[in-house]
A and B are shown apart, each in its own frame.
Chain A
Amino acid sequence: MPGPLEGIRVADFTWVWAGPTCTMQLAHMGAEVIRMESMRRICTLRMLPPWPDGQPGINRSGYFNQYNQGKRSIQLDISKPEGTEIAKEIVARSDVAVENFASNVIDRLGLGYEELRKVKPDLVMISMSGYGRGGPESSYVSYGPAQVPLSGMSQLTGYAGWQPMHVGMSYGDPNAGLHAAFAVLSALFFRERTGKGQYIDMSQQESTMAVLGEGFMEYEMNGAQPPRDGNRVARMAPHGVFMCAGEDRWLSIACATDDEWRALCGVMERPELADDARFRSLADRKANEDDLEAEIMSWTLTQDPLEATERLQAAGVPASPPLMNRELAEDAHLRARDFFVKREHPEVGVRQHAGIPWRMSETPCEVWRAAPVMGQDNDYVFGELLGMSIEQIADLKNRQIAY
């Protein structure tokens, strides 16, 4: 059965992480996504680890291969006029164009929305720049890791009394990519009903702030920057990640209700704690949170986090170890759900990749192919899609237009 976006074609000008995350969602849903890449400006992700055996190679990066599953790749130097024209021919046969260069770069390449709509009047196009179009900082350069501090997330995240922190990944990128994919589908839905395409201007800074709503609300309501408070939150206690037996082993536990807390005391074999005056209600537990966490850690330090999780969950206590990559890869639950994708790749063989976090009953979504090697679909796109002859394609390669 075909995916929900069967018949939709995407001209993919994206690179690094944010843009490719957007177009991968579309590929997951069955759209044909054509990445336009070039040896003149190789995608940053192709140049970053992990690589099998630590040996670099532009087709060997696990980072690239994770976020470009199910896409096609052609080599096209869009900085050359002839390359620009070919890109337009691809756009003319597409429904969607996606790019995430710094603001206005796509215009300088002659591939801005005003140019592209001439060849495809009902095109849906999204630009995903760091700072958006217009405004004094629109030409600033930005990458996902910098979006975390820029958006305000770093000042809100960290241990009590410590400096602002990163969040451990370049969150601005995937968050922008997913919001962008939603925007594209909403625009396609409008197009299907009206015949009108449109242009979408996304600022990664703004899409990151959109998921910090409760922080802004608190600032507005109480006039102060919410302080960094480790893993603690206002309306749950305990709410933390506790040290366990062994080296660098941890367990996260969160209790919102008195019942959950009572159940936790039961699993800890400390039923008297549930009635301890310091811990009886949420207000009590918040008021004595240092003591509360010390009591819990005196138990977790003797525990294996996976075993403790099983017992806590059986008793109805929300708990999970913070899983690392190896534990995720081996996780019985994720495996039982068939979450991981293993497809043969010409240069790295079969590797495990994270898959699609949703399932559809009637129009199944799937990764039909591993991430492409550079230019893997040159012949299909130039030949079948654009109708060029073998000689014409060879000529493009010789003159480094297809490069």
Chain B
Amino acid sequence: MPERALEGLTVIECNRTGSAAYASKLMADLGAEVIKVEPLNGDPDRALGPFPGNQPHPEKSGTFLYLNGNKQSVTLDITTDSGRQVLDSLLRDADAFIHDIPPAEADSLGLAYQRFRQTNSGLVWTAISSFGESGPHRDWKAYDLTTLSAGGWTWLNGWPGHPEMPPLRPFGRQSAYQAGVNAALATMGALLARLRTGRGQHVEVSAQECITAILEMTFAFWPYMNTPTARWGQRPIHPIDFFQCKDGGWIFVLCVEEHQWLRLVELMETPEWATWEIAANRFVRASNWDALRPFMEEWVSQWTTDELYRAAQEKRIPFAPASTLSQLLDSEHLKARGFFVEISYPEAGKITQPGAPFKMSETPWEIRTPAPTLGQHNEAILGERLGLSGDEIKSLNGARVA
């Protein structure tokens, strides 16, 4: 009987953008066996950093280490025939293949699902790309910033009232994370269907669409009201804004429901401005926010961030601080929940990093092994698993295939 949710599943991963790596991380952390097939010079994320002391080192890239715990690494040059044959052998016994190699390049490498379904009809083949595998922009090149722009997110982010400031990226490769979580989700859907049908299938994920699908209410403002969106989206209700507290920290002031606003007015000791008609409800406050904002600003500036956060939450008003990373790492709440995990990396040392995105009562989330070093599992996978002899592995190595 399996103990982990995804125990017994084998996933082969080829990562270029972080999306395939995040998809397979989600599965690996729930117990799936994940074999990373890396080019001879490594997954590109090994060169991305951040690095300790800003000194690049293939075994110290923070992005790579974070995304690749629990995985095994095999180096393989899949642009050569012998390299592709080894990949074919790995796919023959796998449950899922997750890759984010751009469609044209995947075609030229012979990475076509149709070819593999004959040798492994149960294989779930998940192909992630920036723009999907069809349509006029299929072969457009993209990095996270341009994918977020094409998906509609960048347009929403920026500072209202400063038309000279550009649309802005959110922190982190969010198009990769979103394509990754969608790919993991769709892969699991296909694996569940396989329990019923006995057959695998081809799953295609477009990173652009993953972003367009989550634009809150801003997309709908066009088909519903012919209203184009503005920087910082539509904020049809107020207050929803940042203010600086007297200790220099920032608090996010938010009332979604009217009863929350009424309790905020109480907390503010019912100032006159809060009783004006232009503050009467959440929609009216939104239209008049420029006039109301200075009053709120002055009130907030009398508090420290933490005092105001606790006082608001005491009254069940959904304020939140703009947390720094050190505040999060020191948070008593997150400590009590055991969120962060400490991992010892062979080259980068001990690092405390984000842990489980959710906790399951019967099956663990855990980092059993740190991210692999480049080619760490070549012998175990190529020799023990695929049955290649020492000489054959050597000849792959000698030919610079693995």
Contacts and interface: CB of A to CB of B under 8 A. Distances in A.
Contacts of A130: 318
A348 B220 CA distance: 12
Interface string A46-89: 00111111100000011101100000000000000000000000
A150 B320 CA distance: 6
A181 B199 CA distance: 22
Interface string B166-196: 1111111110011001111110111111011
B347 to A, nearest CB: 12
Interface in A326-384: 326, 328-329, 332-334, 336-337, 339, 348, 351-363, 365
A233 B337 CA distance: 32
B387 to A, nearest CB: 28
Interface string A163-177: 111111111011100
B272 interface: no
A197 B348 CA distance: 39
A21 B214 contact: yes
A179 B181 contact: yes
A130 B252 CA distance: 15
A63 B229 CA distance: 14
A65 B225 CA distance: 14
A363 B201 contact: yes
A34 B31 CA distance: 31
B386 interface: no
A173 B318 CA distance: 14
28 contacts: A146-B318, A150-B323, A152-B324, A155-B325, A159-B159, A168-B156, A187-B363, A205-B334, A209-B354, A211-B177, A214-B50, A216-B325, A217-B50, A220-B353, A231-B168, A241-B167, A241-B169, A252-B145, A318-B142, A320-B150, A329-B219, A329-B223, A357-B209, A358-B185, A358-B205, A359-B203, A360-B201, A361-B203
A194 interface: yes
B177 to A, nearest CB: 4
Nearest to A174: B214
A178 B167 contact: no
Contacts of A325: 152, 215, 218-222, 228-229
A360 B141 contact: no
B250 A44 contact: no
- Kindly state the interface size class of chain B when it binds its partner: 35 or more
A209 B154 contact: no
A23 interface: no
Contacts of A62: 217, 220-221, 223-225
B128 to A, nearest CB: 9
B225 A51 contact: yes
Interface stretch (B34-42, B60-68, B73-81, B82-90): B60-68
B171 A156 contact: yes
Given A215-B171, A360-B202, A143 B254 contact: yes
Given A66-B219, A231-B169, 18 more contacts: A53-B225, A136-B332, A143-B254, A179-B181, A180-B358, A186-B188, A201-B359, A207-B358, A213-B67, A250-B166, A250-B167, A320-B150, A323-B150, A325-B218, A328-B222, A348-B224, A351-B224, A354-B213
Interface in B124-179: 131-132, 134-137, 140-159, 163-174, 177-178
Interface string A186-221: 111110111011111111011101111111111111
B189 A360 contact: yes
Nearest to A254: B143
B242 interface: yes
A189 B54 CA distance: 42
Interface string B18-46: 00000000110010000000000000000
Contacts of B202: 360-362
Interface in A9-24: 16-17, 21
Contact of A334 (B159, B197, B208): B208
Contacts of A213: 62-63, 66-67, 172, 353-354
B212 A198 contact: no
B324 A155 contact: yes
B180 to A, nearest CB: 9
A149 B359 contact: no
Contacts of A318: 140-143, 146
Contacts of B296: none
CB-based closest 6 A-B pairs? A217-B62, A62-B220, A168-B156, A357-B209, A168-B157, A63-B217
A167 B215 CA distance: 11
A222 B53 contact: yes
Contacts of B329: 216, 219
A163 B134 CA distance: 41
Contacts of B58: none
Contacts of A332: 135-136
Contacts of A352: 222-223
B228 A254 contact: no
B192 A164 contact: no
B357 interface: yes
A66 B217 contact: yes
Interface in B103-121: 113
B277 interface: no
Given A62-B217, A211-B177, A320-B142, A145 B223 contact: no
Point out which of B156, B202, B205 has the most chain A C-beta atoms below 10 A from its C-beta: B156
Nearest to B22: A211
Nearest to B45: A214
Contact of A66 (B26, B63, B168, B220): B220
A258 B24 CA distance: 30
Contacts of A336: 134-136
A236 interface: yes
A316 interface: yes
A336 B208 CA distance: 14
A380 B90 CA distance: 48
B358 A141 contact: no
A337 B135 CA distance: 6
B240 interface: yes
B289 interface: no
A152 B322 CA distance: 6
A134 B168 contact: no
B303 interface: no
Contacts of A326: 222, 228
Contacts of B169: 157, 231, 241
A196 B285 CA distance: 50
Contacts of B252: 145-146, 148-150, 154, 166
A155 B305 CA distance: 14
Interface in B301-360: 313, 316-326, 328-329, 332-334, 336-337, 339, 348, 351-360
Point out which of A138, A170, A182, A209 has the most chain B C-beta atoms below 10 A from its C-beta: A182
Nearest to B133: A359
A241 B50 contact: no
Nearest to A56: B283
A48 B258 CA distance: 13
B191 A49 contact: no
Given A206-B354, A329-B219, A360-B201, A221 B51 contact: yes
Contacts of B6: 186, 189-190
Contact of B205 (A217, A337, A357): A357
A379 B191 CA distance: 34
